[in-house]
Chain A
Amino acid sequence: AQSVAQPEDQVNVAEGNPLTVKCTYSVSGNPYLFWYVQYPNRGLQFLLKYITGDNLVKGSYGFEAEFNKSQTSFHLKKPSALVSDSALYFCAVREDGGATNKLIFGTGTLLAVQP
């Protein structure tokens, strides 16, 4: 069965510092991996995805993520955090070629960027 783990409920970082939000996954086949962000009282916004190819993928708002197959991880990163990055971040996985196309979400990590 597919699963996603986000081990940190909250990540605190000072503005201007680099940030990392962790995600590990489990699928039986090849993974499709995604990061979404949710601002208060808003729906989910797509940030980036890994399907195949280069392990480092770049997305919206300066975010990037690195796919590590051996560690089954897909950590979200940004070189310099902004206060406006403060939001709830979700990692999600879908299995390539799976019987369904449903996304399995992690529990979410609240990112708090202090000015």
Chain B
Amino acid sequence: DVKVTQSSRYLVKRTGEKVFLECVQDMDHENMFWYRQDPGLGLRLIYFSYDVKMKEKGDIPEGYSVSREKKERFSLILESASTNQTSMYLCASSLFRLAGGLGIYNTQYFGPGTRLTVL
């Protein structure tokens, strides 16, 4: 079974703090993703990575950065946390990278989520 783990289930931080959210997958997946989930808004993609040290912005990257130094680990960084970053953060991973426009099916597997509260 694919396993995606996240470093914390609950996290409370203060405004202005630097926050690290860690995600680890054990299936040698190439793609990794960070989403935030807010009521009434569904899941929105923050950043994703399709290879080590490769990253692309998602739909809402402002205020976030990411790091992928090893294939199995993808970190989300809040450089200076703000109250509007209070949210549920979900990490996901998937196998294969799309190439040449050909459709290569793959499923995203999710971690349990981290509920971050910024005071």
Partners in one complex: no
Contacts from B to A (Cβ < 8 Å): none
Contacts from A to B (Cβ < 8 Å): none
